[in-house]
Structure 1
Amino acid sequence: MLEVRDLDAFYGGAQILRGLSLKVGEGEVVALLGRNGAGKSTTLKSIMGLVRPRAGSVAFEGREIAGLPSYRICRLGLGYVPEERRIFKELSVLENLEVGRREAAPGYPPWTPERLFELFPNLAERRGNAGGDLSGGEQQMLTIARTLMGNPRLLLLDEPSEGIAPLLVELLAKTLRTLKGQGLTLLLSEQNLHFARALSDRAYIIEGGAIRYEGTIAELDARPEIRSAYLVV
């Protein structure tokens, strides 16, 4: 579904991504693991067109999307959940969802607020509350729900477990497993190996803007030296 090849990306004169390549198959959950500053967020932003790659290719369902503006990439079926969440704090939960509404592609069941409230019962209870009144974990759920209202076929999540309470982390993992069971394809950047392990089929490890390891979660579990070299803080 998604293929990134030999991607270079810069912030000004500083090179962040160096020949980065990865693939995500339809229906897979793939984790991009690495320490802070390794290039995880830049990878997702480059896929979404928020950072313009200087070299390399990004193909979604066989179509080259590198260089397209973000709104066109979104319309093709990619959804992006930023680390910063960026909810509209003055708007209610329901109003935040309506902001993200887009028609579903033919043959795909559309996401509606009612369907999302079944998936996120915490939000159902607070549908009339302002986004700024929610806890950090609830805001993360709202960000994911708002992105789903755009009916993406591939969801990019940037550090979804960061900064939220452990109980809500477990609830979020359960929700993402439900989405996986419904056939949604996920690419998530994470530092939390436990969280990624509970969801992912495969993992890439990024360090210094380049992929240093690729394998299944089981293969990564069997390689403690890889975890020590690239993931232990």
Structure 2
Amino acid sequence: MLEVSGLNTFYGQAHILSDVHLAVGGNEVVALLGRNGAGKSTTIKSIMGLVRPRSGRVAYDGQDITGWPAYRVCRLGIGYVPEERRIFTELSVEENLEVGRRPPRPDAPEWTPDRLYQLFPNLAERRRQAGGRLSGGEQQMLTIARTLMGNPRLVLLDEPSEGIAPLIVEQMARVIKELKREGLAVLISEQNLHFSRIVSDRAVIIEKGEVRFTGSFADLDANPDIAQATLAI
């Protein structure tokens, strides 16, 4: 479904991504792992069109979308959950969800507020509260739910477990597994190896803007030096 090849992205003169390759198949969850500053978020933003790569290719369902503006990428069926959450703090949970609403797609699950409240019971209890009054974990849930209101086929999640309580992390894992059961593909940018192992089919490890490993978690376990060199703090 998603194929990234030879991606090079710069911020000014700083070379952030160097020849990055990765792929996500339909109904697959792939974890993009790495330390802070490794290039995970830049990879996600380069795919989404928020940062324009200098070279390389991003393809979605075989279509070259390299450098497309984010609104066009979104219309294709790619949803983006930013690390910063960016909810509308003065709007209620219900109103935040309505902001994300898009028409149904013939090739993707249709999400409604009622379905999302079943997926995120915490939001159901607070549906009339302002987004700014939610906890950090609940705001993360709201950001994911708002993205799902666009009925995407592929979801890009940037650091979904960062800075939230362990109980909410467990709920987040359950949600990602449910998205896979619904047929969605998911690319997760993460530092949390344990969380990624629970929800993901494969791992891609990036360090200093370069891919150092691609494979299953069994392959990663068979090469502990790789995790130690690229993920250990």
Shorter-chain TM-score bucket reads over 0.9
Q: Distance in 1 between matches of 2:120 and 2:221?
A: 31
Can you give the 5+ residue segments of structure 2 that lack an aligned partner in the other structure?
none
Is 2:40–2:206's contact at 8 Å kept on the other side of the alignment?
A: yes
Q: What is the match of residue 170 of structure 1? A: 170
Q: 1:107 to 1:80 in 2, by over 3 A?
A: closer
Q: Distance in 2 between matches of 1:138 and 1:199?
A: 19
Is 2:39–2:209's contact at 8 Å kept on the other side of the alignment?
A: yes
Residue deviations 1:61-112 (CA, integer Å, cap 9, x gap): 0000012111000000100000000000000000000000001212434110
Q: What is the match of residue 40 of structure 1? A: 40
1:143 is aligned to 2:154:
no
Q: What is the match of residue 186 of structure 1? A: 186
Residue deviations 1:100-143 (CA, integer Å, cap 9, x gap): 00012124341100010000000000000000000000000000
Q: Distance in 1 between matches of 2:209 and 2:33?
A: 12
Q: Distance in 2 between matches of 1:104 and 1:34?
A: 35
Q: What is the match of residue 61 of structure 2? A: 61
Q: Distance in 2 between matches of 1:172 and 1:200?
A: 12
**Structure 1 position 197, deviation (Å):** 0.3
Q: Distance in 2 between matches of 1:107 and 1:5?
A: 25
Q: What is the match of residue 155 of structure 2? A: 155
Q: Distance in 1 between matches of 2:107 and 2:4?
A: 27
Q: How many pairs does the alignment contain? A: 233
Q: Distance in 2 between matches of 1:142 and 1:71?
A: 20
Q: Distance in 2 between matches of 1:108 and 1:33?
A: 27
Q: 1:56 to 1:85 in 2, by over 3 A?
A: same
Matches within 5 A, 1:1-233: 1-233=1-233
Q: Distance in 2 between matches of 1:228 and 1:49?
A: 32
Q: 1:194 to 1:165 in 2, by over 3 A?
A: same
Counting aligned pairs with the same residue, the percent is 69
Is 2:49–2:69's contact at 8 Å kept on the other side of the alignment?
A: yes
CA RMSD in angstroms comes to: 0.7
- Give the TM-score taking structure 2 as reference length: 0.99
Q: 1:107 to 1:58 in 2, by over 3 A?
A: closer
What SS does structure 2 have at the residue aligned with 1:176? helix
Q: Which amino acid aligns with 1:89?
A: T
Can you give the 5+ residue segments of structure 1 that lack an aligned partner in the other structure?
none
Q: Which runs of 4+ in 1 moved over 2 A?
A: none
What SS does structure 2 have at the residue aligned with 1:108? coil
Q: Which amino acid aligns with 2:54?
A: R
Q: Distance in 2 between matches of 1:55 and 1:147?
A: 28
Residue deviations 1:139-163 (CA, integer Å, cap 9, x gap): 0000000000001100000000000
Q: Distance in 1 between matches of 2:109 and 2:139?
A: 25
Q: Distance in 2 between matches of 1:46 and 1:188?
A: 14
Q: Distance in 2 between matches of 1:200 and 1:181?
A: 13
Q: Which amino acid aligns with 2:67?
A: G
Q: Which amino acid aligns with 1:55?
A: S
Is 2:108–2:152's contact at 8 Å kept on the other side of the alignment?
A: no
What SS does structure 2 have at the residue aligned with 1:89? coil
- Give the TM-score taking structure 1 as reference length: 0.99
Q: Distance in 2 between matches of 1:128 and 1:159?
A: 27
Is 2:33–2:40's contact at 8 Å kept on the other side of the alignment?
A: yes
Q: Distance in 1 between matches of 2:16 and 2:153?
A: 27
